């Protein structure tokens, strides 16, 4: 909590899935939330839901793969609110063609631009403000695939999510002296819309056993609620019924 009582969070990929759940949980905890993403209609829905519950939220249409647009978004947030206390990097994708025998360079580059470069662009964009505040928290949404290599997510997704873990730790090494901290959140399977892009889409029964977006929303809000002296460097979290431990037709594809 700042001296003025105002806390400002920027959530990328905030129109659905983990980003949406994080925005809702943060708003419920009293944060002023800015959600960004490529689909303005989805963002407006999240803002409306927060507003109906008495929260403060606004939306910015943004493609995190565009470094100039990311910087402008950060500058606009600071101009309107005077600060950025929390960045949640939740924007991310995968592609259906994800094996070595069918992957394309276009697909690889798309994942690198959004899943890795987009994270870096946003971190760099908020860094001057957080340094000036001598306070700030970043939560980077990686994946179980950021720690454990398996066939199902594919080489591009797995590589970018491993890189996000390394990026998070390197940030803490340099910026801890400025009072800044970053957490790499690595969830196992979460029942979000990204599952529809898998070669084999999990059944409704299987998705019900997965982590749910609100589970990650609560985790994000917990990390964000801790005092500035606390750095949660990483969280590896999975459903109890973890399909990476249980061989099924869907997780072999």
Active site residues: 157
Q: At what angle do helices 17-28 and 40-52 cross, to 10 degrees?
A: 30
In DSSP terms, which residues pair with 36 in a beta bridge? 12, 60
d(CA 19, CA 214): 10
SS (H, E, C) 98-132: CCCCCCCHHHHHHHHHHHHHHHHHHHHHHHHHHHH
Strands lying side by side in the sheet with 136-141: 56-61, 32-37, 8-12, 86-89, 136-141, 180-187, 234-237
Instruction: State both tokens at 195.
Output: 């599952």
Strand residues in the chain grouped as ranges (E): 8-12, 32-37, 56-61, 86-89, 136-141, 180-187, 234-237
């Amino acid at each position: 909590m700042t001296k003025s009582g105002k806390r400002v969070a920027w959530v990328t990929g905030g129109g659905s899935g983990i980003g949406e759940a994080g925005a809702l949980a943060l708003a419920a905890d009293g944060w002023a939330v800015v959600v960004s993403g490529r689909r303005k209609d989805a963002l407006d829905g999240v803002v409306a839901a927060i507003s109906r519950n008495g929260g403060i939220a606004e939306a910015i249409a943004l493609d995190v793969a565009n470094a100039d647009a990311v910087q402008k978004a950060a500058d606009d947030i600071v101009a309107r609110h005077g600060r950025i206390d929390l960045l949640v990097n939740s924007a991310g994708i995968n592609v259906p063609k994800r094996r070595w025998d069918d992957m394309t360079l276009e697909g690889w580059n798309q994942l690198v631009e959004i899943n890795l470069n987009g994270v870096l662009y946003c971190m760099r964009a908020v860094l001057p403000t957080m340094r000036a505040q001598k306070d700030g928290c970043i939560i980077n949404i990686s994946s179980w695939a950021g720690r454990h290599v398996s066939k199902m997510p594919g080489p591009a997704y797995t590589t970018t999510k491993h890189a996000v873990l390394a990026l998070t730790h390197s940030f803490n090494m340099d910026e801890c002296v400025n009072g800044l901290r970053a957490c790499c959140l690595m969830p196992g399977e979460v029942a979000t819309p990204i599952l529809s892009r898998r070669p084999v889409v999990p059944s409704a029964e299987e998705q019900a056993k997965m982590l749910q977006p609100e589970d990650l929303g609560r985790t994000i809000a917990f990390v964000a609620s801790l005092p500035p002296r606390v750095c949660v460097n990483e969280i590896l979290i999975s459903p109890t019924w973890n399909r990476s431990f249980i061989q099924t037709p869907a997780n072999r594809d």
